[in-house]
Amino acid sequence: MRPAEAQVLYGSIVGTVVDQSDAVVPNATVTIVSKETGLTRETTTDLAGRYSLVNVLPGNYELRVTATGFRTFTRENVLVTINAVTRADLRLEVGAITEQVTVTAAAAILQTDKSDVRAEITSREITNLPLANYRNFTELDQPGAGGHSGELPERGRGHAGPRSHDEHKRHAAQQQ
């Protein structure tokens, strides 16, 4: 029996804030704003210039950093996905607070802060899976091909049940 696994519904954003000479910037304010919902979260960098925002809902974010003596830095399109750590290391430029630097290019999505292998399945992919028992995603965790235990349910009990390869061919031919 396998141990139970929790489904993680959040991601994280982590990074380090440095200046133009690669010196860390402590006590910088890091703010994220969800492009979809407008939700705002804020944290402050530690003495080593690091910040961490955990339990962030998946989506597209604007990340903004302010610190005394530096221009405000904004990075748009920071993508957060479930069960992933998004790293956004940031470089501030010396200048007046009224000046602002905005970066609109998205960084490559490469997760270097976790060593696990994962894949994200979209709702469309889930809908298109050949699940035998009422399209319940928990059936994916069951042994056997197609998410079922190998015992085929009887037909006529509320759902069509799995089809054999020949039945799929016949059904496809009828649809044309």
Do the Cβ atoms of 75 and 90 come closer than 8 Å?
yes
Domain hosting 23: range is 11-103
80 and 39 both lie in a single domain: yes
pLDDT at 163 over 70: no
* 3-class state of residue 160 by DSSP: coil
Cα distance between residue 129 and residue 126, in whole Å: 5
Instruction: Tell me what pLDDT residue 162 has.
Output: 52
Token code pair at residue 63: 């990340």
Please tell me whether residues 99 and 15 are part of one structural domain: yes
15-to-8, 44, 87, 166 alpha-carbon distances in Å: 21, 11, 5, 54
Structure tokens at 1: 């029996």
Indicate whether 87 and 25 sit together in one domain: yes
Q: Are residues 158 and 79 in the same domain?
A: no
**Model confidence pLDDT, tens digit, residues 13-66:** 999 999 999 999 999 999 999 999 999 999 999 999 999 999 999 999 999 999
Per-residue pLDDT of 119-147, as tens digits, reads 666 777 767 766 665 556 566 666 654 54
**Are 27 and 78 in the same domain?**
yes
Q: What is the pLDDT of residue 31?
A: 97
Domain count, the chain: 2
Distance from the Cα of residue 88 to its chain's centroid: 14
Residue type, 69: G
Q: Which two tokens stand for residue 147?
A: 């998410």
Mention every residue, 6+ apart, whose C-beta is less than 8 A from residue 96. Answer: 71
Tell me the pLDDT band of 158, cut-offs 50, 70 and 90.
Answer: very low
User: Are 26 and 99 in a shared domain?
Assistant: yes
**Model confidence over 63-100: pLDDT tens digits?**
999 999 999 999 999 999 998 999 999 999 988 655 55
Q: Are residues 94 and 22 in the same domain?
A: yes
- Which residue type sits at 121? I
Q: State the pLDDT at residue 157.
A: 45
Asked whether 142 and 133 are in contact (CB, 8 A), the reply is no
**Same domain, residue pair 98 and 130:** no
pTM above 0.85, yes or no: no
